[in-house]
């Protein structure tokens, strides 16, 4: 039997894929990296260093774990499950429908009751990226992410979509992304977030400041006031670091747009219902 390798896990919130490797986590490492983190429910919500699927893998491969570590993993398994975004969003909820009706109207630039991918790309890439001084490469990456996101909803260039089809597309997108999330795989909403952060993150720190988010909110129109931007930080800064990273933003956007997680309410202040 091959000797298990130790795994040193970095900052909580960073995604790690454990599949395909045999990992021996000591009780001390688990305690220092996970147990203290779990004592704060707010911070627990952003946990992605070990996914639900990874814990299931631990359960199946007990022989690679010390008994104390395995016991702790089993103890935290249901708690982690409760703090992950729900995989069963309520698509019939009026709140869910109204939230996406707002987004439809926001994207309907000419106000004709129809939207196209052309309008979305024009607003998001040609307008927003230009004002944020994105490089051509960053602009293309951002556009690619937006295209993949909205094409998953059934949209395409030159195709006019009215609200009933739009909201139905959101349902399919939500089911698609939540399935990937449950498998610790990258989601389309995460890919879009990565593209946005790539433009903001000038120093390569992996996070953005409140001032940077305020600038994006004003330029994009999604968070137009300083008060709304500050509310975003209050909702998304799960580790109270004073900055936002893409893991935090992904977790809260999944909850806001897909599952109506009450912990994500107010993501855009009072601007988006």
Just list the catalytic residues: 100, 170, 216, 253, 268
Q: Which helix (H) or strand (E) holds 210?
A: helix 210-220
Reference 49, options 74, 78, 84; nearest CA is 84
Residue 111 CA: distances (Å) to CA of 100, 262, 271, 272: 16, 30, 18, 18
Residues in the chain: 273
Angle between helices 226-236 and 210-220 (to 10 degrees): 120
- Specify whether the CB–CB gap between 220 and 104 falls below 8 A: no
Residue carrying structure tokens 């490492």: 29
Give residues with Cβ within 8 angstroms of 21, minimum separation 6: 5, 7
């Amino acid at each position: 039997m091959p000797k298990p390798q130790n795994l040193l896990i970095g900052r909580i919130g960073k995604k790690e894929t454990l599949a395909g490797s045999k990992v021996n986590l000591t009780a001390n490492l688990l305690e220092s990296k996970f147990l203290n983190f779990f004592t704060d429910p707010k911070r627990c919500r952003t946990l992605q260093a070990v996914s639900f699927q990874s814990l299931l893998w631990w359960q199946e491969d007990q022989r690679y774990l010390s008994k104390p570590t395995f016991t702790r993993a089993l103890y935290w398994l249901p708690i982690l499950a409760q703090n992950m975004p729900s995989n069963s969003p309520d698509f019939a909820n009026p709140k869910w429908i109204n939230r996406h009706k707002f987004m439809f109207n926001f994207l309907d630039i000419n106000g004709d009751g129809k939207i196209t991918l052309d309008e979305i790309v024009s607003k998001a890439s040609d307008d927003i990226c230009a004002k944020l001084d994105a490089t051509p490469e960053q602009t293309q990456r951002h556009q690619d992410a937006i295209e993949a996101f909205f094409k998953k909803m059934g949209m395409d260039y030159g195709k006019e979509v009215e609200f009933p089809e739009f909201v139905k597309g959101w349902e399919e997108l939500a089911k698609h992304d939540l399935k990937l999330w449950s498998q610790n795989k990258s989601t389309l909403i995460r890919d879009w977030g990565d593209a946005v952060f790539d433009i903001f993150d000038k120093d390569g720190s992996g996070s953005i400041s409140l001032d940077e988010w305020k600038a994006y909110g004003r330029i994009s129109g999604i968070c137009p006031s300083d008060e709304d931007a500050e509310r975003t930080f209050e909702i998304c800064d799960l580790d109270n670091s004073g900055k936002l990273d893409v893991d935090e933003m992904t977790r809260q956007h999944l909850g806001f747009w897909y599952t109506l997680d009450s912990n994500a309410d107010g993501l855009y202040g009072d601007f988006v219902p």
